[in-house]
Amino acid sequence: MIKVGIVGGTGYTGVELLRLLAQHPDAEVVAITSRGDAGTAVADMFPSLRGRVDLRFEDPAKADLRACDVVFFATPNGIAMQQAPGLLEAGVRVIDLAADFRIKDVAEWEKWYGMQHASPAWVERAVYGLPEINRESIRGARLIANPGCYPTAVQLGFMPLVQAGLVDVQHLIADAKSGVSGAGRKAETHSLFSEASDNFKAYGVPGHRHLPEIRQGLGRMAGNPVGLTFVPHLTPMIRGIHATLYARIGAEADFQALFEERYANEPFVDVLPPKSHPETRSVRSANVCRIAVHRPQGGDTLVVLSVIDNLVKGAAGQALQNMNIMFGLDETSGLCQVPLLP
């Protein structure tokens, strides 16, 4: 049984980790921390976990995280880079759901996240946890940089085209929409019900923190830097990401077959039949990315539709998928939930 610790268990990704791990046959959560809620029973804060999780939140300074096999950091940016190195040196494996280790260029990370990096040496050693491209590296990793939600949907949507060299990588466009839970479990004006409900807006158009992460990933696939316009939007729903991706065709191919072949053996990527339009509710609460490929009017531009649940394949589910790979388990273990409908 894998002994699991969670640092920062009171946010949406933390409770999602708990929900998924409570159903995992080979993992047991033995410690979960929260500075502000130490001593509170997990089931008192999250009644959905009554009878499933009997732990109490612990003060991070007192929790015995070094006794764990793996520790998940479901914390704000800037926490894991300070606390993870000590655990790693003690032999604990770490999966960071924040952005501390995702961007290899430390100066670029510091520019976008507005702070000095506390452990740049570990940035180089971290493995970017997108299984569909880094599965073999994940197997032997000690530190996983779990991808962001927007980057997961966008990279999986563009991946077959960019890897095959069939599109103009200097003019890629990602028009993406996210549910309000993507902003985290905190009180902010823009995410209040009366502000976000019955409303739709773009944000971060001049630049969003996920932009350099997406560019880095696509650049590695292409073998060269890419040109990407990325515009995120906030939608009046709780969960879900819908990415509409545009790429100019550079060489002809059977694009439907290309996607089907690339993802034929991927357990959590579903390529839909031609003319399909994936919906966010078709992946709600599941660790699945559904993709559809279109070529409007037979023109020179491909449109790829990619949907995920931002809290599952975009965060906690993908983190658990990485854990399964790291420990040599069935990759789908604990992740076979059928999406909720309605």
Q: DSSP string of 42-74?
A: HHHH-GGGTTT---B-B-TTTS-GGG-SEEEE-
Residue 231 in contact with residue 174, Cβ under 8 Å? yes
Active-site annotation holds for 149: yes
Q: How far is CA 5 from CA 14, 33, 95, 213, 264, in A?
A: 11, 8, 10, 26, 33
Assess whether the previous peptide bond of 342 is cis (omega < 30° from 0).
yes
CA distance 157 to 293: 9
Phi, psi of 162 (to 5 degrees): -70, -45
Q: Which of 68, 149, 289, 336 is catalytic?
A: 149
**Under DSSP, is residue 281 helix (H, G, I), strand (E, B) or coil?**
helix
CA distance 85 to 52: 31
Query: Running DSSP on this structure, what letter comes out for residue 209?
Result: T
Q: Hey, which residues are catalytic here? A: 149
